[in-house]
Chain A
């Protein structure tokens, strides 16, 4: 049966109704430099019309060999490299790394240092989720969200800059402490930020939560079941979005997280929409933790003062006392002295569980340092998740997984 077409298109005029819907198999490569792949991820896909039949993620465009580099430098020298893992939440990476190495030395940092680290990680989580949310909005066609979230992120960056001296590459922690104590009045400014942020966050979330276009693009898309999420080693909001209430801050508390009250939001159906909701709620919980930490901020030392072979003494004493000068010299040249052993520590980072497997043979340099990056594990479900989805859904799925290639490729 020939079909009548209004357009003066000879090819279309000659086509039949059956042929009209016949789709053609083709291969499509998205990335490595494409806005929706959030960095340098490349997806080699095979399509049947608009439907994805095969998806092969190609990684490694941002591979810098961080693990090799770690084997060739002292523990403290590696801190700046951890900034560049999940570069949207460098403070959280710094904290996870330092805590892992301290576990190796069986070193417990004082409560004040722990509180500083908790505040830093939670603010980093808010900043990372804000970016994830803004970028996701753009991915699915909502530009305004991005402008709102970036205004808030800028305020956070101001706080980070006051704390660490840098906006982006903070390198704040040291093994056994942090680079410096908090500046005067910083806690008040953190508190002020939290107070003004909550109503704005509600406003931002309102832009998306009941938005018809946003819901059409996310509800029922990219469904990950509980079993799949666990089988593929998903962690963080992606795992909780599938309804698994696993949060290492609650279930395997570190840095004194057990003293703070907060809830672990979980999703129901495991689709893109649930993952978005989980992130939105997590920010509120992070603010809750920060406010508690500020309220009962402990006094005392902000570094492990008894760990003479691990943490450098205060600058004033280095310049005036012989023993401290030697101690500092040894620390800088030979690195913090660690016992031999193996330690694996995971911290609940914004993107999921960031793990460090440290193998030491003693001395100031690790024998092997494996970085278990949550983005790498979260992305490994892509070949399964994308099959059967439309090309436009792939963009939605990628945004909802909220990964960072700097961490994935290491």
Chain B
């Protein structure tokens, strides 16, 4: 099955609800979120677009509706053409869209990444967890309201906090940093010591 030369015409004929999307290079279409699975399986099964090369999302800005757009790039390994498909997510507050893992198992990690970075959930995904950030991280960093410098969190690691019920905080320096006095001949005095010896593991650091 090879990709047809004029795929744009075929798509327009088969799916009149699709709108052409402005694009700088490859043919591109916007699809309603409810149709995305049908359109992609049509492209894969009868148009030869068998390789899902990329799946990502765009945050159109906090005050824009629809806010999140999921973008698919499919490639035909026989016809050697790309096609871009975009779909706006249904809800701006709890965005979601159908998962395409049933068509391409390789979409698994892409969708997990989009969930991690944008907070878009994929219905029907077998394993919707974070992938790049750690489990329990509270933010979605690629959203536009997330600052470049990041937001400080107490960094609870979910495995530890589930076991112990505690939050994991950065370990105290226990009196460090440790310094040695150079030029000291007396070894007992020259060995590295904490600069501030008023506190250690047993004695709380004075506030």
A: which residues have CB within 8 A of B?
59-60, 63, 65, 67-69, 72, 103-104, 106, 230-235, 244, 246, 251-252, 339, 341-346, 353, 355, 357, 359, 367-368, 370, 372, 376-377, 379-381, 384, 409-410
Contact = CB atoms under 8 A, between A and B. Distances in A.
B95 interface: no
Contact of A344 (B22, B77, B82, B107): B82
A354 B146 CA distance: 26
A384 B117 CA distance: 25
A60 B141 contact: no
B28 A357 contact: no
A367 to B, nearest CB: 8
A359 B59 CA distance: 11
B67 interface: no
Contacts of A244: 77
Given A68-B141, A341-B22, A380 B84 contact: no
A342 B23 contact: yes
Contacts of A359: 58
Given A233-B104, A368-B59, A380-B106, 8 more contacts: A341-B23, A342-B28, A343-B24, A344-B26, A344-B73, A344-B84, A357-B73, A380-B109
Nearest to B79: A251
Nearest to B25: A343
Contact of A104 (B24, B82, B134, B146): B24
Nearest to B133: A60
A72 B147 CA distance: 10
Interface in B33-74: 50-54, 56, 58-59, 71, 73
A104 B54 CA distance: 18
A16 B108 CA distance: 45
Majority DSSP secondary structure for residues of B touching A: loop
Contact of A357 (B52, B56, B104): B56
B94 interface: no
B194 interface: no
Contacts of B134: 60
12 contacts: A63-B133, A68-B141, A68-B148, A230-B77, A231-B104, A232-B104, A342-B24, A342-B28, A343-B24, A343-B25, A357-B54, A376-B109
B181 to A, nearest CB: 34
A357 B77 CA distance: 19
Contacts of B104: 231-233
A269 B104 CA distance: 22
Contacts of A344: 25-26, 54, 73, 82, 84
Given A342-B84, A380-B109, A357 B71 contact: yes
A59 B131 contact: yes
B142 interface: yes
B25 A345 contact: yes
B80 interface: yes
Given A233-B104, A384-B105, A355 B73 contact: yes
In the A-B complex, list the 9 residue pairs whose CB atoms are closest, starting with the nearest. A233-B106, A232-B106, A60-B132, A341-B24, A343-B24, A251-B80, A372-B54, A380-B109, A370-B56
Contacts of A353: 53
Contacts of B58: 359, 367-368
A72 B73 CA distance: 24
A345 B24 CA distance: 10
B204 to A, nearest CB: 33
Contacts of B107: 233
Contact of B106 (A69, A72, A103, A381): A381
A68 B118 CA distance: 12
Contacts of A367: 58
Given A59-B132, A69-B148, A342-B84, A377 B106 contact: yes
B77 to A, nearest CB: 5
A41 to B, nearest CB: 12
A343 B71 CA distance: 12
Nearest to B150: A65
Given A72-B148, A372-B54, A384-B105, A103 B80 contact: no
Interface string B111-146: 001000100000000000011111000000110001
A286 to B, nearest CB: 21
A380 B24 contact: no
A69 B56 CA distance: 17
